[in-house]
């Protein structure tokens, strides 16, 4: 046995409480090195009581590791446990908190999970994991009320130049297009900030309690949310709590009063007076002077923003927040914020903008989800840029999967692009077939599909600000075939719950060929993706009867299945009658 491959720790993501009686355990082993793994467990205080034993289930692993998992039940809520591993040669090994040994360990040497504390249970956001998210940049989506257009508004669809180009998109425009979004299969709307701000992107907030007049009024927001809820669509706001605008009242007070300001500890001020040319204070990103960084370890700052969250949750019944630059915010604040949000609305979702793995934020007490940029980067390299093989593609996804709790992984927001990136189809050199294949994977993989407005009709755009072009509403200019493709994907995900909650198992990952199954109890679907522009994908289909979900054709197994270049197939395994 390759001892270096064995790993477990009684902590997330290898051990955590599921509910008041159930403990989840996972152990890592070197690839194809172990025949089976058994966990021995019992109540941690019952020293004389014999151990119970359960064979662990092998699940989708990576190129170099296998993983085994199990859910243990103990009504007394207290666990001690160790692992028995049998290698391919039949040798027995035992693994506990002291390491790997050849003899079965004594009781005091076992791993322990002392108690399944109710405060540690994570509650999945059920409505979210079943859904499809749609991101809107409000100024560019739809102009529903020309009376609130800002001065100097540009003609719809004109070229975007910078952060002070305004096109008149607003809340009324989103309300007007709710039926469009419903038809697309959208169940969650996320808007970039709508609070008062001088820019078009609104990430430099002036007033966290007011809607920017160019977007409309609070009553129009209330109407939008009520109408969305009538259609089964949730609404998530963007919370910019890492930094404020430089015209926010607290920072203005510091600018006016210097060190005598009662708000001086709300920010990271290095010297006085404030110098916006030399920037003697910490800012967002690389010296963005109009976005001073907030000090979220300061009690008064924390309380202010907790109250901001409560206000929008209680008064407007929003369904959650997406937290901008989440990974630069104090963990202590995030825990308090999460607790406050769940206290006001236990079903609300808290999403973090994190452009890397960010595992320390994903323990279940700070965030419910993140914008899954690691997913995006892998999909981009495999489907759009053709820089990655299927083997490496699946490997990167496996690394991401096993870094997270299973329940949070199902809630990751699997985006292909956003307001901070070039459009996927533009990165794919305008080849929409690559986008279609990528979205098939996006909708049938673990996690929540995430659409950036306009992707569904072929809207293009390079890096910021070009990726923030105006939405295409002229039917003659829309790619309606692409829209129908997105609609179909939403429908199969809605009708086949294995794509939401099923296990993901790779059947083939080679060069540009990818075949995988999603299995939920007795339900199974198989997805075939041929990402090659020249070669056919030929796959020996196992015995059984299948339905091609795309066209309804019944296919008998036990033969070779052929998928043409740059094409896909989704089969549902029919049960024996």
Q: Which residues are catalytic?
A: 324, 353
Nearest to 328 by CA among 283, 364, 264: 283
487 contact partners, CB below 8 Å, separation of at least 6: 183, 184, 185
DSSP element (H, E) containing 335:
helix 331-344
Q: Are 173 and 189 in contact (CB under 8 A)?
A: no
Q: Is 501 exposed, middle or buried (0-12, 13-18, 19+ CB in 10 A)?
A: middle
> Torsion angle, CA of 288/292/295/296, rounded to 10 degrees?
-80
Q: 39-51: b or e for each residue (b if 16 or more CB lie within 10 Å)?
A: bbbbebeeeeeeb
Q: What whole-number distance in Å separates Cα of residue 289 and Cα of residue 52?
A: 61
Q: Are 188 and 236 in contact (CB under 8 A)?
A: yes
3-state secondary structure of 519: strand
- Enter the DSSP assignment of 558: S
Q: Are 58 and 9 in contact (CB under 8 A)?
A: no
Question: Which residue's entry shows tokens 């390079």?
Answer: 462
Q: What is the DSSP string of 81-98?
A: EEEEEEETT--EEEEETT
Q: How many CA atoms within 13 Å lie on the side-chain side of 329? A: 28
Q: Is 314 exposed, middle or buried (0-12, 13-18, 19+ CB in 10 A)?
A: exposed
Q: Are 327 and 358 in contact (CB under 8 A)?
A: yes
Phi, psi of 59 (to 5 degrees): -125, 175
The 3 state secondary structure assigned to 241-310 is CCECCCCCHHHHHHHHHHHHCCCHHHECECCCCCCCCCCCECEECCCEEEEEEECCCCHHHHHHHHHHHH
Phi, psi of 311 (to 5 degrees): -60, -50
Q: What whole-number distance in Å separates Cα of residue 244 and Cα of residue 284?
A: 9
């Amino acid at each position: 046995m390759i001892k270096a491959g064995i790993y477990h720790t009684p902590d997330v993501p290898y051990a955590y409480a599921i509910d008041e009686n159930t403990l989840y355990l996972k152990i890592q082993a070197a690839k194809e090195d172990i025949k089976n793994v058994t966990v021995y467990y019992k109540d941690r205080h019952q020293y004389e009581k014999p151990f119970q034993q359960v064979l662990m289930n092998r699940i989708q692993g990576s190129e170099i590791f296998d993983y085994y998992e199990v859910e243990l039940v103990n009504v007394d809520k207290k666990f001690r446990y160790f692992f028995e591993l049998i290698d391919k040669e039949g040798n027995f090994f035992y693994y506990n908190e002291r390491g790997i040994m050849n003899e079965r360990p004594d009781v005091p040497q076992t791993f322990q999970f002392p108690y399944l504390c109710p405060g540690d249970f994570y509650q999945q956001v059920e409505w979210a994991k079943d859904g499809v998210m749609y991101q809107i940049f409000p100024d560019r989506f739809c102009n529903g009320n020309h009376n609130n257009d800002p001065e100097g508004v540009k003609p719809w669809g004109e070229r975007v130049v910078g952060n002070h180009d305004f096109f008149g998109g607003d809340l009324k425009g989103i309300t007007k297009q709710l039926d469009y979004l419903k038809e697309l299969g959208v169940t969650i709307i996320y808007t970039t900030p709508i609070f008062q701000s001088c820019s078009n992107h609104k990430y430099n907030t002036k007033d966290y309690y007011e809607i920017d007049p160019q977007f409309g009024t609070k009553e129009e927001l209330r109407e939008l949310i009520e109408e969305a809820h009538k259609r089964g669509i949730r609404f998530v706001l963007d919370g910019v709590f890492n930094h404020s605008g430089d015209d926010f009242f607290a920072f203005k007070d510091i600018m006016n009063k210097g060190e005598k300001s009662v708000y001086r500890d709300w920010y990271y001020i290095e010297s006085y007076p404030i110098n916006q040319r030399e920037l003697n204070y910490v800012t967002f990103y690389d010296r963005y002077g109009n976005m001073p960084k907030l000090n979220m370890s300061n009690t008064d700052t924390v309380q202010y923003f907790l109250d901001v969250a409560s206000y929008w949750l209680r008064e407007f019944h929003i369904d959650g927040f997406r937290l901008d630059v989440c990974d630069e915010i104090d963990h202590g604040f995030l825990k308090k914020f999460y607790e406050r949000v769940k206290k006001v609305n236990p079903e609300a979702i808290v999403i973090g903008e994190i452009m890397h793995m960010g595992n320390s934020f994903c323990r279940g007490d700070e965030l419910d989800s993140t914008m899954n940029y690691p997913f995006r980067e892998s999909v981009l390299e495999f489907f759009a840029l053709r820089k990655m093989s299927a083997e490496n593609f699946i490997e990167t996804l496996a690394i991401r999967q096993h870094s997270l709790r299973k329940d949070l992984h199902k809630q990751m927001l699997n985006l292909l692009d956003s307001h901070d990136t070039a459009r996927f189809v533009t990165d794919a050199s305008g080849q929409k077939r690559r986008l279609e294949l990528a979205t098939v994977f996006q909708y049938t993989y673990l996690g929540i599909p995430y659409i950036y407005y306009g992707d569904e009709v072929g809207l293009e755009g390079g890096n910021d600000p070009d990726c923030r072009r105006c939405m295409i509403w002229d039917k003659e200019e829309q790619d309606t075939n692409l829209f129908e493709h997105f609609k179909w994907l939403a429908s199969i995900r809605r009708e086949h719950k294995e794509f939401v909650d099923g296990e993901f198992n790779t059947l083939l990952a080679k060069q540009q060929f990818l075949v995988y199954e999603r299995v939920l109890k007795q339900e199974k679907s198989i997805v075939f993706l041929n990402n090659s522009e020249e070669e056919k994908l030929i796959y020996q289909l196992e015995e059984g009867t299948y339905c091609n979900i795309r066209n309804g054709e019944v296919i008998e197994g036990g033969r070779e299945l052929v998928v043409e270049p740059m094409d896909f197939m989704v089969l549902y395994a029919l049960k024996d009658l």
